[in-house]
Structure 1
Amino acid sequence: ERSIISLRPRQSANLPQNGENKKAVRKLAPTIIPFWGRLADWRGRKLMILRSGFGMALVVSLTGFATGPVSLLLLRLLNGVVSGFIPASIGLVSTNTPKERVGYALGVLQAGAVSGGICGPLFGGLLADLMGFRSIFYVTGALILVAGIVVLFFVHEKFTPTNQQVKTSTLADFKKIIHHAPILSLCMITFLLQLALMGINPLVPIFVQELAPQANIAFYAGLTVATMGVANMLTAPVLGKLSDKKGADRVLFFASLGVAIFSIPQAFVVELWQLILLRFFTGLCLGGLLPAVNTLIRLHAPVGMESRTYSFSNSAMYLGNMLGPILGGAAVGLIGIRGIFLLAIIPLVISLILTRFKVTPIERSARRQMKEQLVLRE
C-alpha cells in the first residue's frame, strides 16, 4: 500500500479533503486493532492475515472508483477497519518461532516490510505515470490479493483453539496484560520511539530543500529518505539475531542510544552529504528497535493473549505515528526544523530510562531463571 501513499499529493489536487481522510484512518486504527487481536488469539493469526489481505485487496481496488471526498473517506475508513496485515504477521511469526530465534525471525520480517516501504513509492510513481492515477489502486489491490493467496497456500500455523473463549472487554484485557511486566513499559517505549521518529521524518524532505541543489530537490529528498530505509533493512535481521544471543533488552537500549546520538549532529549539518550519512547511521540503529520490542513482548506476553498484547503495542505505535507529525509540525514554527532533531532526543531519552530501569531488570531475572532451569535439567 506504500505505492498509494506516494501518490497522495496528486490525489489531493482532485480531492481536497484527503488530509482529513488520512487523519480519520489514523484515529480509527488504534481502536480497532485490539478487537482483531482478541479474535486472533481465539481463532488463529493466519486467519487474521487472510482477513486483512483479502479485505484490503477488495477495499483498495474499490478506492479506484471513488468519485469524491465522501466516498474516499468511507473507503479509507473501511480500509482502516480491515487493515493489519503486518501486525497480524508479527503475531503469527512470533508465536510459531522458537523463543530462542524470535528476534532473528522478526528482524527478517521487518526487513521485508521496510523494503516494501522503500520500493512502494517508486513503484507507485512509475505506475501512475504509465497507467494513470486510478489504475494504481487496481494494481495495488491485485498485489495484496496475491499476498493473501500466498499466505493461504504456503504459510502454515501451529495453533490450538482455546476452550476458554470467555467474553472480555478491551479494558479487561488491557488490565490483565499490563500486569505482566514489562508489557506496559514496552508499549510506552513503542509510543515514544514512534513519536520521536515521526516527529522528524515528515520534515526531512523540507530540510533537504535547504541543503540540496535546487535543480534536483525531489531526487535528493527521495535519496535521503531511502538511505535510512536501506540501512534499516540491512541491519534488522543482524540485530534481531544479536538480540537472541545477547538479549533483546540490550539491543533495544543501545539501538535507541545510537538513534539519539546520531540525531544530535543532524541539527548542525551544513552539507547534504552530511545529512545523508547521518540518516544512514540512524537507519542502522533503527533496525534493532521494533524487532527487539516485539521480541520482548513475545517473551513476556500472557500465554494465550499474545496477539492481544501485540495489538495494544501496535495501538501505541499508531498513536505515536499520529501525534509525532502533529507535534513536530507545531514545534517547527517555534524552534525551526533543526530544533526538531534536538527535541526528538527527549522521548528517546525517556525510552532509554524505561528500558534500563523497567525492562532490563526483569529480562535479566528471566534469563537467570532460564539458565538455572537448564542447569537442573543437566
Structure 2
Amino acid sequence: MKRERAILQGRREKAGKLRRLKVKRKNVLLLAVSMFLANVSFGMAFPYLSVYMRLIGGTMLMVGLLSVAFNLTSTAFQYPFGYLSDSTRNRKGFIALGLFSTGFFYALMALVSTPLALLALRTAQGALGSAMMPAKSALIAELSTRIGSAYGLFSTVENAGYMSGNFLGGFLVKRIGIRGIFVLSGVLLAVSAVIALAMRERPRPKRAPRLLLIPQEGRESDRATVGKKALGRLMRGHLGTFYLSVLLMMIASGQVYSVVPVYFGETFGEEWVGLLFGIDSLAAALSGYYIGRLIDRYGAKRFYLLSIAGYGIAFLGYAFAESIYLMLPVAFLSGVKWSMTLNSASTYVAERVRVSERGQGMGLLNAMMSLGWVLGPLLGGYLSGISFTLNFVSTLIPLGLAFVLAIRLPG
C-alpha cells in the first residue's frame, strides 16, 4: 500500500510539473506575441512624434520637452508600479495597463492640434505607460531558469517588432498620414494588451490568519517587502552602485539619441534617417538571443562592461564617420550594444534581488534609464547647439565614470 501511494504521488508530481511547464510555454508565446505587436506600434508612432509637434506649430524646445516630460513621469512611476506588481503578484494586469494606456494616448494625439495638448498627453503617457516595464521584466525572469537567454529571446522579439514598425510607418505615413499612424498604433497596442491578459498566472494567495509566521529555510516570503524598506535595501551596496552606473550611461545615451536623427538628416539626407535606425533595430534583433545565451555562460557583468565600451565606440563613430558607408557599420554596432546593455543590466538585477522584490528591482532599473533620458537630452540639446561633434565626444565623460563604477562590482 505504501509503495502504491508513493507511485501515485510521484505520478501526480510529474503531471503537475508538466502542467506548469505547459503553462509557462504558453505564457512565453503569448507575451512574445504581445511584445512584438507592441513594439511594431512603438516603431510606427515614436519617430513621428517630433515631426508632428513641428507640424502643429511647436518649437524645437517643445520637441525636446516631449522626451523630457515623458521620461520624467516615467521615472517617478516606475518604482511604485514595480512595488504594486510585487505586492499583488499580478504581472499581466500591469503589463496590460501599460500597453492599453500607451495606445489610448497615441489615439488621443491624433485629435489634438496644439503643442501644449500634445505635450500633456505625452506626459500622461509616460506616467501610466510605465506600468508595463517593471512587471514585464520581472515576468520574463520568472518564465525561465536561464534568465540571460530569456531576456535575449525577448530582446530579439521586441527589436524585430520595432524594426518592422519603423519600416511599416515609413510606408504608411504618406498614405494615411501621421494621425492615421497614431490611431493604428493605438489599435495595435489595445490588441497586445488583450493578448497579455490571456496569460495564466499563479493566483494570489489568500490572506493568511494573523498568527505567528515561521519562515521555512530556503524559501522566500511571497509578500513583497514594504516599499520604503525594500527601496533602501536595493539602493545600498553594490546594487546601488550598479544603478548609478546605469544612470550615467543613460545620460550619455540621452545626449546622443535625442539629437542624432537631426544630425543624420543634416549630414546624409532625411531619406537615410529611417534606414540607419532600421539597421540599428535589425542588429539588436539579430544579436539579442545569442548575447543572452553568452550572458548565461560568462556572466552579466562582463557584457555590461562591454556594452559601456560599445556606447563609447558608437558615439565616436557618430562624431567622426563622415561617409554613409562608414556610418552603416556604426549603426549596426549601435544596435548590438543596445541589446547587450538591456540584456546584461536586466540579468544583473534579476539575479541579485529577492524574487518577492524583483518587480521593484526592475522598476528602479527602468527608473534610472528614464531619469538618464531626462537629463541627457537637456545636456545634448545645449551642446549640439554648439557642435554635434562636441556633444558626441563629451559622452566619454559619463561613460568613463560608469565604467569605473561597474568594473568594481562583483561578477
TM-score range, shorter chain: 0.7 to 0.9
Q: Distance in 2 between matches of 1:353 and 1:324?
A: 19
Aligned to 1:367: none
Aligned to 1:232: 284
Give the 5 Å matches for 1:196-235.
196-209=252-265, 211-212=267-268, 217-235=269-287
Unaligned runs of 5+ in 2: 1-41, 208-221
- The answer to whether the Cα contact below 8 Å between 1:61 and 1:140 also exists between their aligned partners in 2 is yes
- The answer to whether the Cα contact below 8 Å between 1:42 and 1:162 also exists between their aligned partners in 2 is no
Q: Report SS of the residue matched to 2:252.
A: helix
Residues 1:91 and 2:135 aligned together:
no
Q: Sort the Cα spacing of 1:5 and 1:166 in 2 relative to 1 into closer, same or farther, 3 A.
A: closer
- The answer to whether the Cα contact below 8 Å between 1:30 and 1:314 also exists between their aligned partners in 2 is yes
- Residue 57 of structure 1 deviates from its aligned partner by 3.3
Aligned to 2:374: 322
Q: Distance in 1 between matches of 2:115 and 2:318?
A: 38
- The answer to whether the Cα contact below 8 Å between 1:21 and 1:73 also exists between their aligned partners in 2 is yes
- Residue 315 of structure 1 deviates from its aligned partner by 0.8
- Residue 104 of structure 1 deviates from its aligned partner by 1.1
Q: Sort the Cα spacing of 1:39 and 1:230 in 2 relative to 1 into closer, same or farther, 3 A.
A: same
- Residue 209 of structure 1 deviates from its aligned partner by 4.9
Deviates more, 1:232-241 or 1:311-320: 232-241
Q: Which digits, 9 at most, give the CA deviation of each residue in 1:57-101, with x for residues without a partner?
A: 333333333354454344333322220334431121112321xx1
- Residue 238 of structure 1 deviates from its aligned partner by 0.9
Q: Distance in 1 between matches of 2:339 and 2:152?
A: 8
Aligned to 2:108: 62
Q: Distance in 1 between matches of 2:322 and 2:69?
A: 38
Q: Sort the Cα spacing of 1:60 and 1:199 in 2 relative to 1 into closer, same or farther, 3 A.
A: same
Aligned to 1:124: 169
- The answer to whether the Cα contact below 8 Å between 2:83 and 2:224 also exists between their aligned partners in 1 is no
Q: Distance in 2 between matches of 1:161 and 1:312?
A: 26
Q: Distance in 1 between matches of 2:80 and 2:206?
A: 17
Q: Distance in 1 between matches of 2:301 and 2:224?
A: 33
Q: Distance in 1 between matches of 2:262 and 2:70?
A: 24
- Residue 258 of structure 1 deviates from its aligned partner by 3.3
Q: Which digits, 9 at most, give the CA deviation of each residue in 1:203-242, with x for residues without a partner?
A: 3334435653xxxx11223222322222122112111110
- The answer to whether the Cα contact below 8 Å between 2:264 and 2:270 also exists between their aligned partners in 1 is no
Letter in 2 for 1:10: Y
Letter in 2 for 1:5: F
Give the 5 Å matches for 1:363-378.
363=411
Q: Distance in 1 between matches of 2:391 and 2:317?
A: 12
Q: Distance in 2 between matches of 1:280 and 1:166?
A: 40
Letter in 2 for 1:198: G
- The answer to whether the Cα contact below 8 Å between 1:211 and 1:271 also exists between their aligned partners in 2 is no
Residues 1:343 and 2:394 aligned together:
yes
2:122 is aligned, of 76, 83, 94, to: 76
- The answer to whether the Cα contact below 8 Å between 2:223 and 2:356 also exists between their aligned partners in 1 is no
- The answer to whether the Cα contact below 8 Å between 2:170 and 2:274 also exists between their aligned partners in 1 is no
- Residue 304 of structure 1 deviates from its aligned partner by 0.9
TM-score by length of 2: 0.77
Q: Sort the Cα spacing of 1:305 and 1:159 in 2 relative to 1 into closer, same or farther, 3 A.
A: farther
Residues 1:271 and 2:323 aligned together:
yes
Identity %: 22
* Aligned CA-pair RMSD: 2.6
Q: Sort the Cα spacing of 1:161 and 1:234 in 2 relative to 1 into closer, same or farther, 3 A.
A: farther
Q: Distance in 1 between matches of 2:46 and 2:72?
A: 17
Q: Please say which structure displays the higher CA radius of gyration.
A: 2
Aligned to 1:142: 187
- The answer to whether the Cα contact below 8 Å between 1:93 and 1:106 also exists between their aligned partners in 2 is yes
Q: Report SS of the residue matched to 1:65.
A: coil
Letter in 1 for 2:235: I
- Residue 167 of structure 1 deviates from its aligned partner by 8.8
Letter in 2 for 1:26: N
- Residue 247 of structure 1 deviates from its aligned partner by 0.7
Aligned to 2:46: 5
Q: Sort the Cα spacing of 1:302 and 1:199 in 2 relative to 1 into closer, same or farther, 3 A.
A: same
Q: Distance in 1 between matches of 2:402 and 2:276?
A: 26
Deviates more, 1:103-112 or 1:17-26: 17-26
Deviates more, 1:292-301 or 1:258-267: 258-267
- Residue 202 of structure 1 deviates from its aligned partner by 3.3
Letter in 2 for 1:38: Y
Q: Report SS of the residue matched to 1:97.
A: coil
Q: Report SS of the residue matched to 2:83.
A: helix
Letter in 1 for 2:55: A
Residues 1:105 and 2:150 aligned together:
yes
1:156 is aligned, of 185, 197, 200, to: 200
1:33 is aligned, of 75, 78, 81, to: 78
Residues 1:296 and 2:348 aligned together:
yes
Q: Sort the Cα spacing of 1:7 and 1:176 in 2 relative to 1 into closer, same or farther, 3 A.
A: same
Q: Distance in 2 between matches of 1:347 and 1:57?
A: 34
Letter in 2 for 1:345: L
Q: Report SS of the residue matched to 2:200.
A: coil
Q: Report SS of the residue matched to 1:305.
A: helix
Q: Sort the Cα spacing of 1:198 and 1:117 in 2 relative to 1 into closer, same or farther, 3 A.
A: farther
TM-score by length of 1: 0.83
- Residue 331 of structure 1 deviates from its aligned partner by 1.8
Q: Report SS of the residue matched to 2:111.
A: coil
Aligned to 1:354: 405
How many corresponding residue pairs?
Answer: 350
Residues 1:190 and 2:231 aligned together:
no
Q: Distance in 1 between matches of 2:266 and 2:109?
A: 36
Q: Sort the Cα spacing of 1:75 and 1:204 in 2 relative to 1 into closer, same or farther, 3 A.
A: closer
Q: Report SS of the residue matched to 1:7.
A: helix
1:245 is aligned, of 274, 280, 297, to: 297
Letter in 2 for 1:140: S
